[in-house]
């Protein structure tokens, strides 16, 4: 396994899987991991699985054995998906692209329009771009990209193993970017298991593109939040209406809780990160006994400072390293020229500071343009129709701010 290609999270997933299938000692042995083959992993899986099946017979320990079996299966999926990716990398040497995820907790605020036009804009500058539709229930990115025909294949075909690689279902759209279409329900929290989500995350990451742009839809399920957390740049879209920007805080808060959960909670099956009391505390703050909203991250940090002081600095570090970006869409033209749009941004930033203990970075606004509505009728992305128009200019300035340079 090419471990120097793996980031910290990926490396942790690999070590967890190795600890489950082999031993804790081997999970820390880099040369062992480097020399792992699919055959060795499969052999270890069968040995462990057989032991679980054996324990499945006495009814008393059934659920425990079932849980162990799930762990073993997930570990197999994890390691084989990394090993397959490795062999793909050797064969096809895909470039590792930057992932930009576009999310927000509400429909109709322009996420898909932004993903489509941003993809067209970056493709027009010569980048290889793939737009991926991960919107649950509302997959329509293909329409925003001008694709009038029904998609032959979508992400579900990859998840159901009807196609071997995600790259195989990418189609080149008429306006430059590649498109991986969505279909929906399968991605729902209940339907996609850990191993398959991991497989999809890896596959998305290894798409052969300079930029991989994800349309996350308005969903805040963990499966979708995990894509937001994996992205190099996580952008939340809002409009000026309060339901939309309250949705934006909830999305970010859910993402931050998810990050804590993955580090300390049940999904972190790695002893060094696991902490029962802290896990309990995070759970209580996330699902308050009074049935209210999850507590703010500031409240969580304060509680950790009092009750788990050893973990306080690390928790603060996690919050500090949580970067997120904000784009305000559908701003009336007259407001863009005045400062009226600023109070909303100030308000959003204030709230993120208070709730999240970390301010979201404002990247810019996109004006309300009738051309956008027309683009959904004639199915030509605005940026393709007006390459020097307002949408291209506004998205260009948002990208410059994001990359802190002209691209
Ligand atoms: N900047 C804009 N100006 C005018 N209309 C817009 C703009 N952005 C989005 N829209 C309109 O809002 C509708 C919903 O956008 P869409 O991208 O599908 O939202 P989401 O993906 O968030 O559900 C689009 O059909 C489009 O008509
Ligand atoms: Mg959408």
- Over residues 292-323, the pLDDT tens digits come to 888 889 999 999 999 988 888 888 888 888 88
Lowest mean pLDDT among 193-202, 255-264, 330-339, 375-384: 330-339
Ligand 2 is an ion; residues with CB less than 5 A from it: 111-112, 135
Give 95 or 115, the one with higher predicted confidence. Answer: 115
Q: 98-257+320-403: what CATH class?
A: alpha beta
Structure token digits, residue 105: 């907790």
Nearest ligand atom owner, CA of 144: 1
State the Cα–Cα distance between residues 192 and 189, nearest whole angstrom.
6
Instruction: For residue 137, give the nearest of 179, 173, 207, 189 by alpha carbon.
Output: 189
Alpha carbon nearest to ligand 1 atom 6, residue: 372
Residues of the chain with CATH 3.40.50.300: 98-257+320-403
Query: Which residues does a 6 A CB cutoff place in the pocket of ligand 1?
Result: 107-113, 329-330, 366, 368-369, 372-373, 376
Distance 109 CA to ligand 2 centre (A): 8
Ligand nearest to the CA of 327: 1
Closest Cα to atom 9 of ligand 1: 110
- The DSSP H or E segment spanning 331 is strand 325-331
- Residue 187 pLDDT class (50, 70, 90 cuts): low
Q: What is the pLDDT of residue 60?
A: 41
pLDDT at residue 92 in the model: 46
**Tokens 């970067």 -> residue:** 323
Ligand 1, atom nearest to 329 Cα:
1
Name which residue sits closest to atom 8 of ligand 1, judged by CA: 110
CA 151, 157, 160: angle at the middle one, nearest 5?
Answer: 160
| Centroid of ligand 2 to alpha carbon of 208 (angstroms) | 24
349 touches 377 (CB < 8 A): no
**Entry pTM:** 0.76
Distance of CA 263 from the midpoint of ligand 2 (Å): 30
- Judged against a pLDDT cut of 80, whether residue 388 lies above it is answered with yes
Q: Tell me which of 133, 327, 372 to substitute to probe ligand 1's pocket, judged by most ligand atoms within 8 Å of the beta carbon.
A: 372
Answer whether residue 19 shows pLDDT above 90: yes
Q: Beta-carbon neighbour count of residue 189 at 10 Å?
A: 14
């Amino acid at each position: 396994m090419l471990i120097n290609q793996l980031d910290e999270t990926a490396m942790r997933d690999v070590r967890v899987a190795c600890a489950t299938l082999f031993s804790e000692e081997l999970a820390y042995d880099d040369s062992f991991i480097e020399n792992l083959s699919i055959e060795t992993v499969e052999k270890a899986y069968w040995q462990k699985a057989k032991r679980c099946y054996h324990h499945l017979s006495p009814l008393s320990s059934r659920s425990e054995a079932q849980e162990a079996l799930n762990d073993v299966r997930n570990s197999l999926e994890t390691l084989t998906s990394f090993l397959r990716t490795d062999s793909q990398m050797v064969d096809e040497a895909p470039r590792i692209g930057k992932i930009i995820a576009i999310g927000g907790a509400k429909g109709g605020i322009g996420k898909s329009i932004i993903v489509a036009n941003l993809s067209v804009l970056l493709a027009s500058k010569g980048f290889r771009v793939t737009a991926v539709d991960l919107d649950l229930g509302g997959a329509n990115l293909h329409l925003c990209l001008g694709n009038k025909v029904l998609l032959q294949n979508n992400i579900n075909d990859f998840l159901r193993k009807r196609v071997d690689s995600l790259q195989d279902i990418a189609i080149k759209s008429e306006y430059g970017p590649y498109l991986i279409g969505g279909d929906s329900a399968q991605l729902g929290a209940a339907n996609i298991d850990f191993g398959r989500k991991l497989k999809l995350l890896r596959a998305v990451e290894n798409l052969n593109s300079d930029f991989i742009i994800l349309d996350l839809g308005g969903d805040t399920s963990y499966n979708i939040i995990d894509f937001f957390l994996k992205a190099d740049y996580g952008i939340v879209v809002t409009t000026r209406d309060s339901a939309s920007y309250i949705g934006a805080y909830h999305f970010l808060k859910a993402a931050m809780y998810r990050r804590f959960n993955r580090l300390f909670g049940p999904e972190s099956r790695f002893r060094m990160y696991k902490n029962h009391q802290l896990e309990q505390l995070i759970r209580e703050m996330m699902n308050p006994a009074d049935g209210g909203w999850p507590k703010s991250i500031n409240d969580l940090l304060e509680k950790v400072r009092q009750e788990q002081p050893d973990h306080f600095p690390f928790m603060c570090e996690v919050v500090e390293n949580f970067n997120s970006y904000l784009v305000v869409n559908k701003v009336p033209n007259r407001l863009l020229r005045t400062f009226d749009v600023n109070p909303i941004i100030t308000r959003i930033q204030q709230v993120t500071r208070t709730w999240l203990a970390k301010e979201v970075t404002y990247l810019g606004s996109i004006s309300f343009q009738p051309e956008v509505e027309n683009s959904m009728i004639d199915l030509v992305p605005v940026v393709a129709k007006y390459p020097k128009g307002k949408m291209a200019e506004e998205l260009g300035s948002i990208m410059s701010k994001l990359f802190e340079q002209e691209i």
